[in-house]
Amino acid sequence: MKNASYEVLDIRISDTKEAIRGKNIFYKCNICESIIPSTPKDNVNCSCGNIGIDKDLNRLFVTDYSKFVILERKA
């Protein structure tokens, strides 16, 4: 994914219900700079734990929304 190109879609959400999901949608943590897929095959977290997805519960967890960015993969 490091060679992929991303477009910022949203940086101002205040609730995980506002976060879109999809095959080409990714979440970036501006604390640790990790990028994770919005629809992972398994549970996933960013490196610092600010963003996490519990696949079993189909839930997104965000600790600091000001450091959460929604991206769309372009290439």
Q: Is the pLDDT of residue 11 over 90?
A: no
Q: Give CA–CA dist 28/35, Å, rounded.
A: 4
Residue 68 lies in a domain: yes
Percent of the chain scoring above 70 in pLDDT: 96
Q: Is the pLDDT of residue 2 over 60?
A: no
Angle at 10 between CA 8 and CA 16, to 5 degrees: 130
In the chain, how many domains are there?
1
Q: Output b/e per residue, 9-45; b: 16+ Cβ within 10 A.
A: eeeeeeeeeebeeeeebbbbbebeebbbbbeeeeebb
Residue 1 lies in a domain: no
Average pLDDT over residues 2-29: 89
Q: How many CA atoms lie within 13 A of 2 on its CB side?
A: 1
Quote the domain boundaries for residue 55. Answer: 6-73
pLDDT band at 39 (very low <50, low <70, confident <90, very high): very high
Model confidence, pTM: 0.89
Residue 44 lies in a domain: yes
